[in-house]
Amino acid sequence: MSAVDVGIGLLGYGTVGSSVHRLLVESGDEIERATGHRLRVVKALIRDKRKERPFPAGDGVLTGDFAELRDDPRITVVAEVMGGLDPAGGYVRELLRAGKPVVSANKQLVAREGSELFAIASEAGVQLRFEASVCAAIPVVKVLRESLVVSNVHRVLGIVNGTTNFILSRMEAGGSYADALAEAQALGYAEVYPNDDVTGADAAAKMAILATVAFGSRVGLGDVECRGITELEPAHVSAAAELGMAVKLVGIATLADGAVDVRVQPAFVDRAHALATVDGAFNAVMLQGDSIREITLEGPGAGGIETASAVVADLVSVVGTAGTGFLQNDACWRELPRLDRGAWRSPFYLHLEVADRPGVLAHVTSRLAANEISVAQLVQHLREGEATLDLILHEAHAGDVHEAAAQMATFPEVLRRPFLAPVITERPL
C-alpha cells in the first residue's frame, strides 16, 4: 500500500524547527511503517532568508510571508516552534480558525493563552497539541492525559528546567554560580540572557501547564508562586550536602481538600528521594495519585533534537486521529479554588547567620515554638564571633514558617535575612 503524503508547515526554522525537519526526513521510513503516512515539510516561516540553517530546508520551503503557509492547501498540520507570544499567538489563532491543526512547543503561549486557543480549536473542530511545551522528550502530558486519566493524580513534583538543574549540579560539585552559568551558556543549555530560567519563570509556565492537565482545572501563571535560584549561595548548597540533601529548583503542584497550590522554588531534596539523583540538564517529573502511588518520568529536558522529537510525536498523533476527541480537547473540565498560599504544608529548611552570643539559639527556637513550629535537625558552625544555623523544621504551614522568619529578621542578633526552602523527603523527620 502506498504512503499518504501529509504536508507539514513550520512556524519557525531555528534550532527546533530545523531539527523537526531533519527528523521527518531521516525517520520518514519509520514513521511511514508505523502510520502509513509520509510527513513532508512544505513551508517554513522565517524572518531572515539569509541566515544559515542547521538543516537545509530545500527549494521553495522557506518563506517570510505567513499567508503563504496559512493558505497553502497542501499543508495539513502546522508545528509552531518560533516561541514568544507575538506574533506566534496570532498565527496560531489564524491557523486554527482556518481549520489547520497545530502542534506547539511554546510553553508561555500555552500557559498564558491556552484557554482561548483551545476554545478556538474546539469551535473549528481541529486539534491543538502541546507535549513539547513542557519537558521536551519526556512524554508527561501524554501519560497524564491518556495512561493516567482515571488515576486521580493529586501531586506533581518536577525538575522541569534543565538550565537551572545543570547550574545547581555544578555548584554541588564545588563550582560558583557565575562559573556554572557560563558553562551552561557555552554548552548551549542556557541562553545569553537566561532570566526566564534562573528566575523560575520558565519552570512556572511548565508547572502551570502540568497542573492544568493533572487536575483538570485551569492554572494560570499568576497562580504559581515562583522563586528562582538567584538567591542561592554556596553556603546553602554546602549545608544541603551536610544534611544529606541536594538543592534543586522544584515545581510542586498539589491538590489538597479540593483546592490547588502550585509553586516553583529551590528545595532541599533528601538524598534518598528520586529527584535528588537527577543530574545535569536532565528533567524529571514525579506523579502521585490514588491508584498509581508514584510514577517518575526522567529524560533530557532541553535541546533542539529532544524538543523536536516531542513535536514530531504530536504531529504523528494528529495525522493518526480524526477530529478533536477527548484526548485532544482542553484538559479543563472543572473550576477548583486556589489553596491559600500560607496554608500549604511542608517541612522546611531555615538558614540563619547570627552573632555568636548567649541566648541566641534559645531566642530562635522560642520564636519558632510561638508559631507552632518544631525543629527536627540543627547544624551549627562558629566563626569569629558569628554563627551559622542550619535547621530542618518539621512539617508546618508555609504562612507560619514565613512569619517566624520575618520576625527573626528583626532580631538584632540576626545578621542577614533568613533563607527558607521547602524540604522534600519521603522519610519521617
Q: Are 213 and 130 in contact (CB under 8 A)?
A: no
Query: Residues near 252 by Cβ (< 8 Å), separated by ≥ 6?
Result: 155, 156, 157, 158, 207, 261, 262, 263, 264, 265, 267, 422, 424
Q: How would DSSP label each residue in 239-298? A: HHHHTTEEEEEEEEEEEETTEEEEEEEEEEEETTSGGGG--TTEEEEEEEETTTEEEEEE
The DSSP secondary-structure symbol of 148 reads T
Among the options 107, 142, 206, 248, which is catalytic? 206
Q: Is 7 in contact with 76 (CB distance < 8 Å)?
A: yes
Is position 206 annotated as part of the catalytic site?
Answer: yes
Helices (H), 147-248: 162-172, 177-186, 195-198, 201-215, 234-242
Task: Please classify residue 331 by burial: count the beta carbons closer than 10 Å to its beta carbon, then call 0-12 exposed, 13-18 middle and 19+ buried.
Answer: buried
For strands 282-289 and 293-300, give the pairing.
antiparallel
Count Cβ atoms within 10 A of the Cβ of residue 72 and give its class: 0-12 exposed, 13-18 middle, 19 or more buried: middle
Distance CA 381, CA 401 (A): 22
State the residue for C-alpha cell 560539585. Answer: 173
Which sequence positions are flagged as catalytic?
Answer: 206
